Amino acid sequence: MGRIYLFRTAPKGPGIPPRIVIDNYAYDELWPGHSYHLDVQPGVHRIRTDMSGNDELEVNVGKGENVIVKYVLDPKIFGKGFYPVLMDYSEGAPELKEYTGTSVDCKR
């Protein structure tokens, strides 16, 4: 198994928090300052929100690998809302911990 960590830092946005969608299955809502993780089979996974339409991110997760995805808010008034961005592990892990208190070093 591999693990996908998802988080958002943007405190504002639509009044309804976006729901995480991975491989066309809807999971929890993603609130600011919170994280979510999902253990997945190795391979390619498609990540989006229920509000982002077709704006998907494909990530390839290896066996035992941690992948970090940050949801970013488009600053345009009529932009695309929240959308997922793959983080480089060396930048994503500290940012995930800073904004959500979640450490990728925790044992499974």
Cβ pair 40, 60 in contact under 8 A: no
10 Å Cβ neighbour count for 83? Answer: 21
pLDDT > 70? residue 53: no
Domain count within the chain: 1
Beta strand pairing call for 43-49 and 57-61: antiparallel
User: And the tokens for 49?
Assistant: 């929100």
pLDDT > 90? residue 91: yes
- CATH number for the domain harbouring residue 20: 2.60.40
pLDDT by residue (tens digit) across 1-43?
999 999 987 666 556 788 889 999 999 888 888 899 999 999 9
**Better pLDDT: 107 or 45:** 45
Q: CA 3 to CA 54: how far, in whole Å? A: 23
Give the range of the structural domain holding residue 97, as residue numbers without chain letter. 2-105
